[in-house]
Amino acid sequence: MASNFRSAQGANKRKTYFLLAAMGILTWLVAYAALTYFGAGTTSFVVPLAVGIALVGVWGSYYGSDKLVLTMTGARVIQREDNPELFNLIEEVLVASGLPMPKVAIVDDTAPNAFATGRNPDHALIAFTTRILEVMDRDELQGVIAHEMSHVANRDTLVSAVAATTAGAIAILSDFLTRMMWFGGGRDRRDSNQNPLLLIVSLVIMILAPIAAMLLRSAISRRRESLADATAVSFTRNPAGLRRALETLAADSTVVRQRSNAVAHIWIESPLDGKSVSKLFSTHPPIEERIETLRAMESLGPQQ
Amino acid sequence: MEIFVVIGVSALLAIFIVAQYNRLIRLNISVDEAFAQIEVQLKRRADLIPNLVETVKGYATHEQSTFDAVVSARAKATSATGVADVAAADGALTQALRGLLAVAEAYPDLKASSNFLALQEELSTTENKVAFARQFYNDNVRSLNEAVATIPTSFFAGLAKVSAREFYEIEDPQSREVPKVTF
């Protein structure tokens, strides 16, 4: 069904809330499983420890995301004089969105791609590969910039940091607990006669939780990408520009020579090979699906 | 015991009223800011025009009526105040500029000159910014008018002295045109 950008924005936001709530429930389930299996003493020590480790790990990269990503991708910040036309285009999107000026960076790469990061709109950074600036015309590039600025407007660095923290905490927790199980230690009430079925269920939860957390995390990332596409259209009111840009990206088979897989999710087009990653684990919706959604918006005609 | 319930309920009520009031005031201010943004972009465009006219004049000497139209539309645009007036003058200037650029099409030397190319890039980005500023303003007016018309904010519009605002609409025959469909 064709949907305009407003209903698309609403749907993607609702789905994000739903997925974040599911993350919360999953965390609670793991804590509950630990409680059942190991008892209150161990759990009250292990759960805060896992959450603490995950928080420290993610918070640093969230807070310094603009600077960290620069080193991880080899991007260099440029000024207005270096590319006045690009800055003109960015300023157009800023006028349309009411956002402040981000830092702008260039990545020397033969693959067309772009990304946005930064903990809030005042510390935002958007980057483009040298190739994307060569292959895209004005309208296409405006669509890409609008998509990146949408990530900034929707605070996607924060959303993905929250998702990463929860998924990380669950992974660490599950790791601790399964290790403790192999070594047989830690159970406060080893000889108490607990329901064996409950113990087995707890065991299964602890083992499967990290995978479930990873699936939820990718699902959140996919929803944020669709949301950014819809928000981009709300800025430019020109779905055709972004649609043509995505078609260009889909047609180009070169992939960013990135230095780290850790930043794969921030690019506009996933730099990981789509075929090798299952759809459930991928951080981006299939590009054909995004193109179809935008085409459906175009068919609605000019929107106010 | 009852006294605490009364205090609690009235505190919640006060918070609710303040929140609605502040929302209306904030929306109203963002409409003002959005209108200021339109004026900034219109001023930028007006500043580009003398330079553009001079450049075109250097190559196209027999187009005096087009130049006059642009110059007089610019004068009207820079002196207009109020949403409706600014919008009308803006629409007229947009039209006149299109005429000027159409004239430029007929002069290959002009189109090839680096000065003109630079001006053209500046003008097209400014036109886009003007269009986006209008759109941003209208979006803000839309949220404000929605808040003024819908419950619960509508109850506090009088108290906040906030009322529905005017949309920024320009007369642009080109955008009104129904696209031709051929089968």
Contact A98 B136 (CB under 8 A): yes
- Please report residues of A whose CB lies closer than 8 A to that of B146: none
Residues of B in contact with A85 (CB under 8 A): 121
Q: Is the pLDDT of residue A89 over 90?
A: yes
Most B-contacting residue of A85, A92, A235 (CB-CB within 10 A), to test interface: A92
A139: exposed, middle or buried (C-beta count within 10 Å: 0-12, 13-18, 19+)?
Answer: middle
**What's the rounded mean pLDDT across residues A26-37?**
85
Chain A, residues 222-251, CB within 8 A of chain B, namely 235-237
Q: Summarize pLDDT for B108-162 with one digit per residue, the tens.
A: 888 888 888 888 888 889 989 999 999 999 999 999 999 999 988 888 888 888 8
* B176: confidence class by pLDDT, cuts 50, 70, 90: very low
Residues of B in contact with A98 (CB under 8 A): 34, 37, 136
Distance from CA of A89 to the nearest CA of B (A): 7
Nearest CA in chain B to A98: B136
Worst-scoring range by mean pLDDT, A10-19, A40-49, A120-129?
A: A40-49
Q: Among the options A140, A148, A225, A269, which is catalytic?
A: A148
Cβ pair A98:B138 closer than 8 A: no
Residue A304 with chain B: CB contacts under 8 Å:
138
Check B132 against A92: CB less than 8 A apart.
yes
**Which residues are bridge partners to A125 per DSSP?**
A103, A117
- Quote the minimal CA–CA distance from B26 to chain A in Å: 15
- The per-residue pLDDT for range A137-157, each reduced to its tens digit, is 999 999 999 999 999 999 998
ipTM value of the model?
0.77
Confidence of residue A1 (pLDDT cuts 50, 70, 90): very low
Using a CB-CB cut-off of 8 Å, the residues of chain A touching B128 are 92, 142
Residues 121-180 of A with CB under 8 A from B: 142
CA distance B144 to B31: 8
pLDDT band for A274, please (50, 70, 90 cuts).
low
* Closest alpha carbon within chain A to B128: A92
- Output the pLDDT for position A278: 66
Residue in chain A closest to B135 (alpha carbons) equals A96
Residues with Cβ within 8 Å of B111's Cβ and at least 6 positions away in sequence, in order, are B104, B105, B117
Ranges A128-137, A192-201, B74-83: which has the least confidence = A192-201
A150-159, A165-174, A293-302: lowest mean pLDDT where? A293-302
Q: What is the pTM of this model?
A: 0.84
Q: Residue A298 catalytic?
A: no
Q: Label residue B9 by pLDDT band (50, 70, 90).
A: very high
Residue B41 at interface with chain A, using a CB cutoff of 8 Å: yes
Residues of chain B contacting residue A236, judged by C-beta atoms under 8 Å apart: 132
Average pLDDT of the segment spanning A97-119? 90
Residue B183 has pLDDT above 60, yes or no: no
Per-residue pLDDT at A304 exceeds 60: no
Gap from A253 CA to chain B (nearest CA, Å) = 31
For chain A, say whether B31 makes contact (Cβ under 8 Å): no
- In whole angstroms, give the CA distance from residue A153 to residue A147: 10
In this prediction, residue B28 has a pLDDT band, given cuts at 50, 70 and 90, of: very high
Q: Which of B41, B121, B138 has the CB atom closest to A95's CB atom?
A: B41
B68 pLDDT band, cuts 50/70/90, is confident
* % of chain A surpassing 90 pLDDT: 34
User: CA angle, corner B12, sides to B9 and B18, nearest 5?
Assistant: 140
Scanning every residue of chain B, which has its alpha carbon at the shortest distance from the alpha carbon of A302?
B175
Q: What is the DSSP secondary-structure string of chain A?
A: ----HHHHHHHHHHHHHHHHHHHHHHHHHHHHHHHHHH-HHHHHHHHHHHHHHHHHHHHHHHHTHHHHHHHHHT-EEE-GGG-HHHHHHHHHHHHHHTPPPPEEEEE--SS--EEEE-SSGGG-EEEEEHHHHHH--HHHHHHHHHHHHHHHHTTHHHHHHHHHHHHHHHHHHHHHHHHHHHTT---TTTTS---HHHHHHHHHHHHHHHHHHHHHHHHHHHHHHHHHHHHHHHHHS-HHHHHHHHHHHHH-------S-GGGGGGBSS--S-TTTS-TTT-SS--HHHHHHHHHHHHHT-S--
CB contact under 8 A, B132 and A93: yes
Residue A301: closest C-alpha in chain B: B179
DSSP state of B162: -
Interchain proximity A95–B138, CB inside 8 Å? no
Which one of A268-277, B85-94, B137-146 scores highest in mean pLDDT?
A: B137-146
For the cut 60, the answer to whether the pLDDT of residue B177 exceeds it is no
What are phi and psi for residue B139, nearest 5 degrees? -60, -40
Per-residue tokens: A6: 């407003």
In a mutational test of the B interface, the residue from A91, A95, A138 whose CB has the highest number of chain B CBs within 10 Å is A95
Cβ-nearest to B121 among A85, A93, A95: A85
Q: Minimal Cα distance from B31: which residue of A?
A: A98
In this prediction, residue A261 carries a pLDDT of 64
DSSP structure class, residue B170: -
pLDDT at residue B144, rounded to an integer: 92
Report in angstroms the alpha-carbon separations of B103 from A15, B93, B108, B122.
52, 15, 11, 18
CB nearest B129 (choices: A92, A235, A304): A92
Give me chain A's average pLDDT, please: 84
Question: pLDDT value at position A194?
Answer: 67
- Quote the percentage of chain A above a pLDDT of 70: 89
Q: CB of A101 within 8 A of CB of A121? A: no
Please report the pLDDT score of residue A259 as a whole number: 58
CB of B45 within 8 Å of any CB in chain A? no
Average pLDDT over chain B, rounded to whole? 85
Q: B129–A93: do the CB atoms touch at under 8 Å?
A: no
Going by pLDDT thresholds of 50, 70 and 90, the confidence category of residue A133 is very high
A185 confidence band (pLDDT: 50, 70, 90): low
- Residue B72's pLDDT band, with cuts at 50, 70 and 90, is confident
